[in-house]
Each structure stands twice: as structure tokens, then as C-alpha cells.
Amino acid sequence: MSNDEKLIDFAAERDKRIHDLNDKRLNDMRQVFEQVLPLGKGKKKSKGKPKKR
């Protein structure tokens, strides 16, 4: 059994961890924005008949 198999690429692990933190932050911000400015799922403005001029 060689030691090469047990080596951990700390840079790659750190990048993954930072990426997970950024995803968490992005999801939190998305939830806040959806509460403040809902994207209107299924609630569309129905345009009535256009006014005749």
C-alpha cells in the first residue's frame, strides 16, 4: 500500500468547500429575493381587450 493513495489534494478540497459556501450564500440570497420580489409562478397579468382609440 503506497502513500500516494492516501494523499489529499488540499487545494481541491478547499475549492470544493468554498464552492459549497458560495452555493449556500447564493441560495440564501435567492430565497430572500423571492420573498421580496416573487417571480409570479402561475400568477400572470391577464391583458384585457385593448382599448380602441
pLDDT tens string 8-49: 888 989 899 999 999 999 999 999 998 888 766 655 555 666
pLDDT tens sequence across 25-35: 999 999 999 88
Determine how many CB atoms are found less than 10 A away from the CB of residue 15. Answer: 11
- In whole angstroms, give the CA distance from residue 9 to residue 3: 13
> Which pLDDT value is given to residue 27?
95
What residue type is 20 in one-letter code? Answer: D
Helices (H), 1-53: 10-36
pLDDT of residue 30: 92
- Quote the Cα angle for 12-30-43, to 5°: 145
